[in-house]
Amino acid sequence: MKKKVLKVHEDDNVVVALTNLSKNETVSLNGQDFTLQEDVAAKHKFAATELQTGDSIIMYGVLVGKAQSLIKKGGLISTANVKHAANDFEISEKRNTEWKKPDVSKFSGRTFMGYHRPNGEVGTANYWLVIPMVFCENRNLDVLQESLVRDLGYGRNRKYKYQAQQLIDLYKTGKSVEDILNADIRTESGDEQGKRLFPNVDGIKFLNHEGGCGGTRQDAQALCGLLAGYITHPNCAGATVLSLGCQNAQVSILEEEIKKRDANFAKPLYILEQQKIGMESDLLAAAIKHTFAGLILANQNERQPAPLSKLCIGLECGGSDGFSGISANPAIGYTSDLLVGLGGSVILSEFPELCGVEQGLSDRCVQVDTAKRFSHLMKTYNARAVAVGSGFDMNPSPGNIKDGLITDAIKSAGAAKKGGTSPVADVLDYPEKVTKSGLNLLCTPGNDVESTTAEVASGANVVLFTTGLGTPTGNPIAPVIKLSSNTVLYNKMRDIIDINTGTIIEGEETIEQAGERILDYVIKVASGELEISAVRHGQDDFIPWKRGVSL
């Protein structure tokens, strides 16, 4: 029979409802009975024992809040009676880096079919990039996109255009607003993608952004580092760069950042400066010719076998719910451990969502200096947020709170499960590149797209993205695999969700079984065998982080 409740950690004094529970209903767990004091919706928590004002709320074995009033045993834990609280952390000279490496025999010797690059890295896709150094060039990118994408076979699905045409026809025949709203509109696929001229090139991606000038010089430096991360990324075959010429984000800075990441950079890179060239028509003509030439070169690369150690997985969550930390996140945490055990790399980011679990992560850092850097980045980031009237405690969104994540520490303790249990090999500041195999911590905001954008710039050639509420998020060059924390969401939004981990909640699958299933799926996606929802929909989300306060 399906369980109704769950205690995540033996030290917890709260219990998670796995299904909707009613007031006065009695449920049992590990030989103990709990009578509910009020209705408790699935994903929310109730007190396992009577809690007095000021008592600690413990979940995942860590402090996640303080009781603000008396909470009876079986009483609902909510924003009305609990406030965020988290333990402080310190740097210990003793390292806690021993871990139980999972059995990876099932995957030993496995390979994926990837695109090998001159520097030894391997891509899971093969894209050509068109990048503006400054927002002034965004219109020119739009013109290039109109000129190249459709005729080369990379057009999007046009079913919505066909639906609009049907409405136009109804309007022209004199139909009323009510008739139009009630009309039965056909939904033919209208697929615009034709046969690709370059079959080994997955697409041309245009990284429009709003930066490059104004702001601070640090913003320009960070932007150039981010763009360099994409240009040197193993999923990128080469790039066309459009520069105006007078902006803060100078081409020379970009070139320096490229060298930092790849000292012997050997991909085709075409940099065109509008103020040097002159006429806009000449700039665009040159950009079209150079991009086309680059595509010819990119098409010469074909997928070849590569060891799983060449995979770098970004770990991300967005639209999280009360089940995320007990199904989807620990499942990809086990996937993370498997990949680390195979010599690969994983990236855990979203520093505002590591609040309250810093001590455990700090102790897992292989080097004391790495732990010190983690501490510095966390405390500096939080202090900047507090200085403008915010703070990590204000990270949970209304959707998070509605679905059971009522404090940042509860959200963080569940979010950190994505990183698994392996030692922390390195700590990176935005937008640095991963250089070590194993678990890497990357300083980014909790904002889904800003964080995913950064993880890919740091080298993630696949991203695992968990969600409890649903989000279409993707990335221009790296496949973003969406995983639902619950089966209801998976069935409701199957057009944007790739994998369901609600099976864990329902007792049909263990965390370990789900983790292995996810890695099998990743290998197929990395080999180009499966087209995930974000790629199919052309969901190319790209938002650089300006180093102000963004949670």
Q: Are residues 143 and 287 in the same domain?
A: yes
Q: Are residues 388 and 498 in the same domain?
A: yes
> Is residue 99 in a domain?
no
Residue 262 — very low, low, confident or very high, per pLDDT cuts 50/70/90? very high
Q: Are residues 295 and 224 in the same domain?
A: yes
pLDDT at residue 388 greater than cutoff 90: no
Q: Are residues 283 and 357 in the same domain?
A: no
Instruction: Report pLDDT digits (tens) over 232-252.
Output: 999 999 999 999 999 999 999
State residue 82 phi and psi, 5-degree precision: -135, 140
Given 277, 304, 331, the domain boundary residue is: 304
pLDDT at residue 178 greater than cutoff 70: yes
pLDDT at residue 192 greater than cutoff 70: no
Per the prediction, the chain carries an average pLDDT of: 94
Q: Where is 516: in which H helix or E strand?
A: helix 511-526
User: How much of the chain, in percent, has pLDDT values that exceed 90?
Assistant: 83
Q: Are residues 121 and 257 in the same domain?
A: yes
Query: Do 465 and 511 contact (CB within 8 A), yes or no?
Result: no
| CB half-sphere exposure, 408, CA atoms < 13 A | 22
What's the number of domains the chain is made of? 3
Q: Are residues 354 and 287 in the same domain?
A: no
pLDDT at residue 408 greater than cutoff 70: yes
CA distance 443 to 473: 20
For the segment 195-203, the average pLDDT, to the nearest whole number, is 95
Q: Are residues 330 and 293 in the same domain?
A: no
> Is residue 90 in a domain?
no
> Is residue 53 in a domain?
yes
Q: Which among 187-201, 328-342, 376-390 has the top mean pLDDT? A: 328-342
CA distance 89 to 180: 60
CA distance 535 to 521: 15
CB atoms under 10 Å from CB of 211, counted, come to 24
> Is residue 318 in a domain?
yes
> Is residue 91 in a domain?
no
pLDDT at residue 193 greater than cutoff 70: no
Given 286, 304, 322, the domain boundary residue is: 304
CA distance 197 to 195: 6
CA distance 177 to 181: 6
Q: What is the pLDDT of residue 294?
A: 97
CB atoms under 10 Å from CB of 172, counted, come to 8
Residue 39 — very low, low, confident or very high, per pLDDT cuts 50/70/90? very high
> Is residue 546 in a domain?
no
Reading the block at residue 401, the tokens are: 């709170």
Residue 1 — very low, low, confident or very high, per pLDDT cuts 50/70/90? low
Reading the block at residue 178, the tokens are: 């009510």
Q: Are residues 338 and 482 in the same domain?
A: yes
Instruction: Report pLDDT digits (tens) over 147-163.
Output: 999 899 998 766 777 78
CA distance 313 to 500: 18
pLDDT at residue 189 greater than cutoff 60: no
CB atoms under 10 Å from CB of 36, counted, come to 20
CA distance 343 to 310: 8
Reading the block at residue 103, the tokens are: 């059995």
For the segment 491-496, the average pLDDT, to the nearest whole number, is 96
Q: What is the pLDDT of residue 185?
A: 83
For the segment 282-291, the average pLDDT, to the nearest whole number, is 97
3-class state of residue 339 by DSSP? helix
Q: Are residues 398 and 299 in the same domain?
A: no
Crossing angle of the two packed helices 280-298 and 138-148, in degrees rounded to 10: 50
Residue 267 — very low, low, confident or very high, per pLDDT cuts 50/70/90? very high
CB atoms under 10 Å from CB of 300, counted, come to 10
3-class state of residue 408 by DSSP? helix
pLDDT at residue 260 greater than cutoff 90: yes
> Is residue 159 in a domain?
no
CB atoms under 10 Å from CB of 2, counted, come to 9
For the chain, the maximum distance between any two Cα atoms, rounded to a whole number of angstroms, is: 79
Centroid of chain to Cα 174: 47
Q: Are residues 354 and 285 in the same domain?
A: no
Q: Are residues 384 and 496 in the same domain?
A: yes
**Angle, CA of 477, 482 and 485, to the nearest 5°:** 160
Tell me which residue range forms the domain holding 218.
114-154+196-304
Instruction: Tell me the β-bridge partners of 34.
Output: 27
CB atoms under 10 Å from CB of 440, counted, come to 28
Q: What is the pLDDT of residue 551?
A: 65
Q: What is the pLDDT of residue 195?
A: 86
Q: Are residues 40 and 135 in the same domain?
A: no
For the segment 55-71, the average pLDDT, to the nearest whole number, is 95
State residue 343 phi and psi, 5-degree precision: 95, 10
Q: What is the pLDDT of residue 167?
A: 86
> Is residue 176 in a domain?
no
CA distance 152 to 164: 25
CATH code, 256: 3.40.50
CATH code, 41: 2.30.130.110
Check residues 184 and 120 and name the one with the higher pLDDT.
120
Q: What is the pLDDT of residue 396?
A: 75
**Angle, CA of 418, 421 and 424, to the nearest 5°:** 90
Q: What is the pLDDT of residue 191?
A: 52
Given 258, 275, 304, the domain boundary residue is: 304
Q: What is the pLDDT of residue 282?
A: 97
Q: Where is 497: in which H helix or E strand?
A: none
